[in-house]
Amino acid sequence: MAVNLYIPPESQIFPIEGVEIGTAEAGIRKANRRDLTVFRLAEGCSVAGVFTRNRFRAAPVQVCEKHLAGGHDIRALVVNTGNANAGTGESGLRAAHDTCAALGNVLGLAPTQVLPFSTGVILEPLPVDRLTAGLPAAVADASPSNWFAAAHSIMTTDTQPKIVSKRVALGKHTVTITGISKGAGMIKPNMATMLGFLATDAGIAPGLLRDMAGAIADRSFNRITVDGDTSTNDSFVIMATGKAPVRIDAVSDPLYTPLYEALADAAKELAQKIVRDAEGATKFMTIQVEEAGSREEALKVAYAVAQSPLVKTAFFASDPNLGRILCAIGYAGIDDLDVSKVRLWLGDVQVASRGERHPGYQEADGQRVMKEAEIVVRIALGRGDETETVYTCDFSHEYVSINADYRS
Amino acid sequence: MAVNLYIPPESQIFPIEGVEIGTAEAGIRKANRRDLTVFRLAEGCSVAGVFTRNRFRAAPVQVCEKHLAGGHDIRALVVNTGNANAGTGESGLRAAHDTCAALGNVLGLAPTQVLPFSTGVILEPLPVDRLTAGLPAAVADASPSNWFAAAHSIMTTDTQPKIVSKRVALGKHTVTITGISKGAGMIKPNMATMLGFLATDAGIAPGLLRDMAGAIADRSFNRITVDGDTSTNDSFVIMATGKAPVRIDAVSDPLYTPLYEALADAAKELAQKIVRDAEGATKFMTIQVEEAGSREEALKVAYAVAQSPLVKTAFFASDPNLGRILCAIGYAGIDDLDVSKVRLWLGDVQVASRGERHPGYQEADGQRVMKEAEIVVRIALGRGDETETVYTCDFSHEYVSINADYRS
């Protein structure tokens, strides 16, 4: 049961010229489902990626980083669900390379022009033979209008496909942005068990796109948490095909900022959809920390609150047990925090001031806000001017059920 | 449903000469339950305490630290359940002081000779009038044989009382050690929502006892985690009455080490009982990290594993989904971790070597260990010689139920 997760109608999902997508049933883990996705990119496309900081980086993540760092002309992406190809050592790396070689073989590309992605169970060998056997069917299926099918085919424990698409006026021209994401558990910044693929027909210089990818991730996929578990496989890729008559080479270009903002908004929407569909989520919470001395300490506090099982279960119960939020602020790791300066709001209701219950606070007001499906928790620390925002969800019975049963 | 929590028969709970305990019904939060506990200490008792590092330290914690730091001759402790007196600002401090003054008045002591403790809901005013009204009845009830009653009366969401008692031969003499603890949720090191009270009739010089209290906490109450939430109220107190014919003034005393070990073992047992009775726990897990470069990094890894909701739900399901453990090791924050040196054992079964699935590993072996109620997870990092051990439990439906309903 996702929380206010908007799925656009197919008519509102705009293809990106230069991107074709095909899906197929490869039987990676389960039969009778499309679990293999291939992106074909036109020549001259810029591609940039941001990947997990987990030290156990999955084999496909290592291969992606190598192929991107090598400055190869990336022309295809291949995504499998059902198996993460993580914790698989040398044989896992070989499997990821073999996947790239096989797709390169079908498409007439060098293996280094392919980026591989995997999501699913960790510590099990990737059935690379089944995967490569499915590639010709996926390639045969390729079409510019398959974004919706791809959003489905990359899902694991997701209950809903996650897709965003829009057209944006840039100067005299219009560019199109379309993207998909997946992820529902093992979600924590830097990054989630999430895959995100965002494409635009604008042209963007490769170096610039690389910088933009990092900055955009820090406003979207690196600001969500479901359970505090940073996955081994997280990957976010931006593709700029350059088929529209707009090309941006530098930050100084007047069209840079509107394009950056449009891409960042699309990424943020894709990231928030992951939280909205988080395993067992019944509430979508925005944790905004203000007046921090630095962005780092704002994030520390935001994540301490967003990841506290006690806070999350209280939200699940719609119980304004708000002392649990103060408690989490207190253990967030700011050693010289002056609690007498801390204020806390739940929606528009001020709950705490001077580090204690706000004089005007009535439990009925807190209760009213807690019953809503979308809740903003605002925390002012009284230490400086920095603000950071993190998105999360509540913690329900369903989360336990899903994660206790995931492999069965 | 606690996991193998041993409750000794009353005949095996030995009084400590110099300690009398009384309990009473004060109606702090719920009617018809003993929620107030008073310890009376004989003259000449050494008392030392270790308290939460949460920046929102509850009012009673602040008062305890002040009274202990002042070198006052501590002669009484007062504990209430049902209300934490935390997030209560100046009025909370006043309530804690009033509590000390009221008990001092009944016992003929200065307020500074009393240590106050509170546990329960945060951010609500302590009903200090009801508390102080209950003090005469608690004092009238005082007796050396009330340890078991006290173990009950300090409980909150605990399902079982936690008590340890033993006699230890020290040279020609025997000393007695008896203690109680409480806590089941909001449990994470430094410290848990836990209260621990440990007493011995051995004599220990006050400065030495202070050092011992810190070291003992780091082997017991600071090595447990249920949900990663460090409470505002955690307190661990050791009392040494000096009534037995054994007195230790320095670490160089040959009896120091055996006494220290006996006290540390008792504290560890009390701490482990908290995990065994953790909210919703069905399994008791020992996470042992070896070959770390420092104790700090061993703890980082141990806590990342112990606190991962994905690891904890997999244990709840008895599902050897062990990639989740590697994943948690990977995001524990050791930036230069060489994953190819990491090995992992589940009980006696080696699961991973060289950062991947161990060649001899069979899922059936992992499954066999996962079905046990007590599981040792052993992780070798291949970086050095340091070892740390953390105790935790699984994460079940029941945890969510308890924490979603706690206040109702």
Q: Given B56, B401, B403, which is nearest A310 (Cβ)?
A: B403
SS3 for B27? coil
- Determine the pLDDT at residue A322: 82
At A116, list the tokens. 């591989």
Asked if A122's CB is within 8 angstroms of B331's CB, the reply is no
Task: Flag whether residue B275 sits within 8 Å of chain A, measured between CB atoms.
Answer: no
Q: Which two tokens stand for residue B78?
A: 């007062």
Residue A151 has pLDDT above 80, yes or no: yes
Determine whether the annotation assigns residue B157 to a binding site: no
Going from the C-alpha of B76 to that of each of B20, B109, B239, B376, the distances in angstroms are: 9, 9, 11, 40
Please give the pLDDT value at position A192.
39
Strand-pair category, B343-346 with B374-380 = antiparallel
Over range A71-94, report the average pLDDT: 92
Please indicate whether, in this complex, the C-beta atoms of A399 and B55 are within 8 angstroms of each other: no
Inter-residue contact B183 to B111 (CB < 8 Å): no
Q: Which of B193, B200, B282, B392 is catalytic?
A: B193
**What was the pLDDT predicted at A158?**
87
Q: Does A328 touch chain B (CB under 8 A)?
A: yes
**Alpha carbon A243 to chain centroid, angstroms:** 26
Output the pLDDT for position A248. Answer: 96
Position B41 pLDDT exceeds 70: yes
Say whether B322 and A123 touch across the interface (CB within 8 A). Answer: yes
DSSP letter at A13? -
Which residue from B54, B323, B331 is facing A121, i.e. has the nearest CB? B323
Give me the residue from A54, A354, A400 closest to B395, CB to CB.
A400
- The amino acid present at A85, given as its one-letter code, is N
Whether the per-residue pLDDT at A407 is higher than 70: the answer is: no
Residue A313: pLDDT band (50, 70, 90) is confident
Burial of B364 (C-beta count, 10 Å sphere; 0-12/13-18/19+): exposed
Question: Does the pLDDT of residue B369 top 60, yes or no?
Answer: yes
Q: Which residues of B25-39 are buried (b: 16+ CB within 10 A; e: fewer)?
A: bbbbbeeebbbbbbb
Residues 6+ apart with CB under 8 A from B23: B34, B36, B37, B38, B138, B141, B146, B149, B150, B152, B153
Whether B357 sits inside 8 A of A125 (CB atoms) is yes
Contact B121/A321 with Cβ under 8 angstroms?
A: yes
Q: What is the pLDDT of residue A190?
A: 37
Q: Which two tokens stand for residue A157?
A: 């424990």
Disruptive mutation site among A55, A61, A339 for chain B (greatest number of B CBs within 10 Å):
A55
Contact A329 B185 (CB under 8 A): no
What is the pairing mode between strands B284-292 and B374-380? Answer: parallel
State CA A113 to chain mean position distance. 24
Instruction: Reduce the DSSP state of residue B128 to 3 states and report it.
Output: helix
Residues of A in contact with B334 (CB under 8 A): 55
In this prediction, residue A408 carries a pLDDT of 40
Cα nearest neighbour of A88 on chain B? B356
Tens digit of each residue's pLDDT (9 = 90 or more) over A1-33: 688 899 999 999 999 999 999 999 999 998 889
Chain A residue with the nearest C-alpha to that of B319? A404
pLDDT tens, residue by residue, B92-132: 999 999 999 999 999 999 999 999 999 988 888 999 999 99
How many residues does this entry show for chain B?
408
In the stretch 82-111 of chain B, residues with CB closer than 8 A to chain A read 84, 86-89, 91-92
pLDDT at B399: 74
Q: Residue B379 and residue B389: Cα distance in Å, rounded?
A: 10
* CA separation for the pair A174, A258 (Å, rounded): 12
Catalytic residue among A119, A157, A193, A200: A193
Residue A6, SS3?
coil
Question: What is the C-alpha separation between B149 and A408, in angstroms, rounded?
Answer: 45
Q: Is the pLDDT of residue B37 over 70?
A: yes
* Cα separation values, B90 from A356, B93, B144, Å: 9, 5, 35
Residue B68 has a pLDDT of 95
- Is this prediction's ipTM beyond 0.85? no
| Residues annotated in a binding site of A for substrate | 156, 182, 193, 279, 403, 408
Cα–Cα nearest to A402, from A237, A278, A289, A263: A278
Three-state secondary structure string covering A108-142? CCCHHHEEEEEEEECCCCCCHHHHHHHHHHHHHCC
pLDDT digits (tens, 9 = 90+) for B321-365: 788 898 889 888 898 999 899 999 999 999 999 888 899 999 899
Test B407 with A232 for CB contact under 8 angstroms. Answer: no
- Closest approach of chain B CAs to the CA of A262, in angstroms? 31
Instruction: Suggest the residue from A56, A91, A118 to mutate for an interface test with chain B (most B CBs closer than 10 A).
Output: A56
What would the DSSP string read from start to end of B235-259?
Answer: EEEEEE---SS-EE-STTSTTHHHH
Q: B43-79 pLDDT, tens per residue? A: 999 999 999 878 888 999 999 999 999 988 999 999 9
- A151 Cα to chain B: minimum distance (Å): 24
Q: Quick one: chain A helix, strand, coil %, rounded to 5?
A: 35, 25, 40
Q: Contact, B163 vs B13, CB < 8 A?
A: yes
Residue type, B101: A
pLDDT of residue B186 exceeding 80, the answer is no
Whether B404 sits inside 8 A of A89 (CB atoms) is no
- Cβ–Cβ of A55/B335 closer than 8 Å? yes
List residues bridging with B167 in a β-sheet.
B176
For residue A66, with 0-12 CB atoms within 10 Å meaning exposed, 13-18 middle and 19 or more buried, which class applies? middle
Residues counted in chain A: 408
Q: Which of residues 346-365 of A touch B (CB under 8 A)?
A: 352, 354-357
Contacts of B356 in chain A (CB under 8 A): 87-92, 123
Angstrom distances, CA of residue A46 to CA of A78, A205, B40, B355: 17, 7, 75, 34
Torsion of CA B25, B29, B33, B38, to 10 degrees: -40
Joined tokens for residue B209: 């006892």
Nearest CA-CA distance, residue B25 and chain A, Å: 25
Q: Containing H/E element for A200?
A: strand A195-200
Structure confidence by residue, pLDDT tens digits, B258-308: 999 999 999 999 999 988 988 788 999 999 999 999 999 999 999 999 988
CA A28 to chain centre: 23
> Is there a contact between B55 and A335 if contact means CB atoms under 8 Å apart?
yes
Q: What is the pLDDT of residue A191?
A: 38
- For residue B309, what is the nearest residue in chain A, using CA coordinates? A227
Q: Are strands A386-393 and A224-225 parallel, antiparallel or unpaired?
A: parallel
Fill in the amino acid letter for A267.
A
Q: Tell if the CB–CB gap between B339 and A229 is shorter than 8 Å.
A: no
Weakest mean pLDDT among A246-255, B224-233, B382-391: B224-233
Domains of chain B plus CATH, in order, are: 10-276 (3.60.70.12), 284-405 (3.10.20.340)
Q: Pick from B316, B313, B284, B395: which is nearest to B4 by CA? A: B284
Distance set, CA B313 to CA A236, A357, B121, B228, B384 (Å): 27, 35, 27, 15, 31
**Bridge partners, A358 (sequence order):** none
User: Cα A318 from chain centroid?
Assistant: 27
Q: Which residues 212-241 in chain A show a CB within 8 A of chain B?
A: 227-232
Strands A195-200, A173-182: pairing kind: antiparallel
Q: A327, B86: Cβ pair inside 8 Å? A: yes
Residues A230, B327: C-beta atoms closer than 8 Å: yes
Q: What sign for the dihedral angle of Cα A117, A146, A187, A270?
A: positive
Determine the pLDDT at residue A317. 85
The whole-angstrom distance between B252's CA and the closest CA on chain A is 35
| Counts of helices then strands in chain B (DSSP H, E) | 11, 18
CB A178 within 8 A of CB A14: yes
Average pLDDT over residues B171-196: 76
Q: How much is the pLDDT for B191?
A: 35
Q: How far is B194 from chain A (nearest CA, A)?
A: 14
**Which residue on chain A is closest to B91 by alpha carbon?**
A356
CB B311 within 8 A of CB B225: no
Residues of chain A in contact with residue B395, where contact means CB-CB under 8 angstroms, are 309, 400
Q: List Cβ neighbours of A281 (8 Å cut-off, separation of 6 or more).
A: A1, A2, A3, A226, A275, A393, A394, A396, A399
Residues B309, A229: C-beta atoms closer than 8 Å: yes
Residue A193 designated active-site: yes
B362 to chain A: nearest residue by CA? A124
For the stretch B213-272, pLDDT in tens is: 999 998 888 888 766 556 677 889 999 999 999 999 999 999 999 999 999 999 999 999
B353 min Cα distance to partner chain A (Å): 10
Interatomic CA distance for residues A128 and A158, integer angstroms: 24
For residue B222, what pLDDT is reported? 85
In a mutational test of the B interface, the residue from A327, A335, A394 whose CB has the highest number of chain B CBs within 10 Å is: A327
Residues A202, A203, A209, A212: what is their CA dihedral angle, to the nearest 10 degrees? -30
**Burial of residue A382, with CB atoms counted within 10 A of its CB: 0-12 exposed, 13-18 middle, 19 or more buried:** middle
Q: Which residue out of B94, B119, B157, B331 would a mutagenesis test of the A interface target, given it has the greatest number of A Cβ atoms within 10 Å?
A: B331
Residue A186 pLDDT grade (very low, low, confident, very high; cuts 50, 70, 90):
low
